[in-house]
Amino acid sequence: MMRSSLAKCSNRLHNALKKQSVPMNFLLSDKTILPNVITQQLTREYNSRSNILMNESALPKVEKPLAEIPLEGKTDLEIKDPSLIFARVIKHLEDKFGRKRLYFPKEIYWLVGAPGAGKGTMLKFINSQRGLTSKPITVSDLLNSEEMKKIKDSGRLISDAQVIEAVFTKLLDPEYENGVIVDGFPRTPVQAQCIALLYDLMLQFRHEFQSDSVVSQKFRRPSFRLCVLFVDEKISVERQLSRGRKIIEMNRIATETGYGNLQEVRSTDVDDDAAKLRYKYFRDTIYESIKSLQDKFPYNFIDASGSVEDTAENITKELAYQSSLELGKTTFDLISSIPTADEITMHARQLLVRRLDGYSSRNAELFKKVLQVIKSEFIHILQRQALSGVAIIRSENPVFKENPLAVNILMDVLTERGFQVILDYERKLVPSRVDPFDHSIIHEPVRIFHFEIQFEKPRIRE
């Protein structure tokens, strides 16, 4: 009786959607609008009746384990438990590819964007900024496959399970082994939770196969990042309608001249209310879904309300390399005792000034000697190399042997004068005396200092 009532409700919902030319999978596409009030009421009624059927007491009795129940059904009923959906999807993938073949990309960037945020424009930039060589996986393209079209044409909803399996299957392509952006995922709370479950599974596989010399290198420590390109409602609606005006004008020109292809004009491109509804769905469902994972993974909220250049700059700042996030914990702990370049160069100018003042006050005699060495041994060589912008000077001056601080003084003085100094030295043995007993030659080690001095060379020709 309940199933008959549900079927009637499903038919009414389907007919209502057809009258509005809205496909049954409208909740999974950012290119469609939400239905009107009547359709929303039918949707709630349909979901309510579905939930009644999904109570444990109402489930059909099956002899197969739950993980083995096929995902593809003849009705639109769907289990909404992320753990059960995830277990089934992984079981399907394991049956299809084998357990040892389920190595997913080490780096995955889960990207969503508000309507009008310029996600399509920024994808190539993010790919380049993070050094990814594979093309992004665009979920909307996966949902336009022949298999998905058959589901939509039959009037059925594309379920979370089917979307998740399509995405996870694509991630197993060897092309994405070193990293990939997944564009347009997650879109629902269930999909978001399955991302967390995938991360845990990858850690489990890493532990499981660590002793397998053949495949252990394939199961690397996963690195997930959540990225949101965000604009507020006002900017989103303005950009959607602006896009519509541009497409209409381009279509007009193409029609009049016969050159160019006509582009689809969506309802959200021309209707203010439809554009607002599309933004509301992003804000209330998609944005909230990915935000639910921010305590588990690095979360990058990127302001896309400015120009393309401003947004690119924001992306660069948000996605800057962070070794603590990307290296394994053991590796990071081992190398973190080594200071970074930024830490070494921090306050370098202030420290240079302080050192020079210290030399002149506390090491005045040595300071004067080094200045004299620069004048007598260095300046004339630098002048000869003025057009090349670089000079290599070797020195055995005893002042450097008498006090190691002399080398520091020389480098600091030249740096303050605008030169870049690279220091190296070599040891060589030089004859010093003859042994009176066996008449052998006794050598002594001598340090020869090599200074590579670079500076900006003049431009002779424009």
Range from 150-159, 174-183, 330-339, 344-353 that averages highest in pLDDT: 174-183
Residue whose pair of structure tokens reads 């507020």 in the numeric block? 232
Query: In the prediction, which pLDDT does 302 show?
Result: 92
DSSP 219: S
**Using CA atoms, how far apart are residues 134 and 137, in angstroms rounded to an integer?**
9
Pairwise pLDDT comparison (332 vs 454), residue with the higher score: 454
- Per-residue pLDDT at 21: 42
Q: What is the pLDDT of residue 343?
A: 76
Q: Is 392 left (phi over 0), alpha (psi -120 to 50) or beta?
A: beta
Mean pLDDT check: name the lowest of 181-185, 280-284, 427-431.
Answer: 427-431
Instruction: Show the CA angle centred on residue 132, arms to residues 315 and 185, nearest 5°.
Output: 65
| The model's pTM | 0.61
How far apart CA 248 and CA 271 sit, in angstroms, is 13
CA distances from 185 to 168, 241, 403, 424 (A): 11, 24, 64, 53
Chain centroid to CA 25: how far? 29
Q: Could you write out the DSSP letters of every residue in 301-347?
A: EEE-SS-HHHHHHHHHHHT---HHHHS-HHHHHHHTTSPPHHHHHTT
Contact 423, 412 (CB under 8 A): no
* pLDDT tens for each residue of 379-411: 999 999 999 999 999 998 999 988 989 999 999
For the stretch 350-365, pLDDT in tens is: 889 999 999 999 999 9
321: left (phi over 0), alpha (psi -120 to 50) or beta: beta
At CB < 8 A and 24+ separation, what contacts does 239-245 make?
239/115, 239/116, 239/118, 240/115, 240/116, 240/268, 240/269, 240/275, 240/278, 240/279, 241/269, 241/270, 241/272, 241/275, 243/116, 243/269, 244/268, 244/269, 244/270
State whether residue 421 is helix, strand or coil.
strand
pLDDT at 442: 84
Q: What average pLDDT does the segment 121-148 reach?
A: 89
Q: Residue 328: its pLDDT value, please?
A: 65
Contact 250/260 with Cβ under 8 angstroms? yes
Measured from the Cβ of residue 95, the count of other Cβ atoms closer than 10 Å reads: 10
Residue 46 in this model has a pLDDT that exceeds 60 = no
In which element (H, E) is residue 351 found? helix 348-362
Average confidence score pLDDT of the chain: 81
Tokens linked to 366: 């040595």
Distance CA 259, CA 254 (A): 5
The string of pLDDT tens digits covering residues 177-214 is 989 999 999 999 999 999 999 999 999 999 999 888 88
Sheet holding 420-434, edge to edge: 390-395, 441-454, 420-434
- Domain architecture of the chain: domains with CATH: 1-61 (no CATH), 65-334 (3.40.50.300), 348-454 (3.30.110)
Q: CA 119 to CA 191: how far, in whole Å?
A: 20
Reply yes or no on whether the pLDDT at 29 is more than 80: no
Lowest mean pLDDT among 35-39, 112-116, 348-352, 369-373: 35-39
pLDDT in the model for residue 439: 82
Residue 157 pLDDT: 78
Q: What CA–CA distance (Å, rounded) separates 42 from 32?
A: 18
Give the pLDDT band of residue 155 (cuts 50, 70, 90): confident
Taking the C-alpha atoms of residue 105 and residue 220, their distance in angstroms, rounded to an integer, is 8
